[in-house]
Amino acid sequence: MKKIILLVSAAVVSIAASAQSITIVQKGQEVLSVSPSTVDEIVFSMDEPTGTVASGGSQAVNGKWCSIGTSITWYNNNVSTAGGRFTRGYQDRVMDRLAFKEFANVGDNGGCIAGSVNKPVEADYYSIEHGINDWGHGVAVGTIDDYINGTNNGTFAADYRRLIDKIYSLNPKAKVVLCTPRKGCGFSGYLPAHWYDEHKGIHLEDYAKLIRQIAEYESLPVADFFSLCGGDHNLVQLSIDEALHPNDDGYQLMANVLVKAFEKIIVE
């Protein structure tokens, strides 16, 4: 027999006298289902939890996650600057399901990948979200050969290599997820009118294709935000400012995609 402790502010429990199971739902997600015959006592508490639920909900991850990226990443720790247009970033939503032991957000508001090369901190897991600002500034994409050969020619590919090298210098055993850029457009002329338009001689998809090539070369998982986090029919509805920064629905889509990529490399 067991005791179940519930946080009354965070969970809903469904109990009936003739029920065949007791189900606990947290933030809309079922986290525990048990037979009443196995329960001695149900205790309701206002205290913060002291552990994680093992049979569903958040999975404890014994490691630190360093999240690298643009303002889309930066916003997670700066929600108050968004004027109430969304409530949480994608990282907090990821951690609803993957409870990393520690978390560091080194997102660069308005930054390109070159500006992130020296931002990573020592961690066990890393995610890289870059490309949209490089497109906005017209940074040359470069080629997979620029990445492989470390040409250091100022292209997106060359700077991606510098960033990856920095990560592995901090932790040679690091687990890394590469994220393609989320589709975006507008933002007062910073980007073109449509995500598929050419901008300064470059298409946003060119960065996404290169990132997939790098991932294949390095045998790293991809969180394909470009393909899975909004398209022509709904991108505006998933964004707070025309179609650049996500709203709550947009961030949740990103979190869903990133969780699946992380699950491929998490070490139990």
Of 192, 182, 164, 148, whose CA–CA distance to 250 is shortest? Answer: 182
Q: What band does 268 get if pLDDT is binned at 50, 70 and 90?
A: confident
Q: Which two tokens stand for residue 147?
A: 């990445």
Strands 11-14 and 175-179: unpaired
Q: What is the percent of the chain with per-residue pLDDT over 90, rounded to a whole number?
A: 77
Confidence (pLDDT) at 44: 52
pLDDT in tens, 56-96: 468 999 999 999 999 999 999 999 999 999 999 999 999 99
Q: Look at residue 183 and give its three-state secondary structure.
A: coil
Residue 170, φ and ψ in degrees, nearest 5: -80, -35
Give me Rg for the CA atoms of the chain. Answer: 21
Checking if the pLDDT of 51 tops 60, the result is no
Report how far residue 258's alpha carbon sits from residue 212's, in angstroms, rounded to the nearest whole number. Answer: 15
Report how far residue 138's alpha carbon sits from residue 37's, in angstroms, rounded to the nearest whole number. Answer: 64
Report how far residue 31's alpha carbon sits from residue 25's, in angstroms, rounded to the nearest whole number. Answer: 6
At position 222, the amino acid (one-letter code) is: V
Confidence (pLDDT) at 254: 98
Report how far residue 93's alpha carbon sits from residue 109's, in angstroms, rounded to the nearest whole number. Answer: 20
Q: Are 138 and 174 in contact (CB under 8 A)?
A: no
pLDDT in tens, 198-248: 999 999 999 999 999 999 999 999 999 999 999 999 999 999 998 999 999
How many CB atoms sit inside 10 A of residue 28's CB?
7
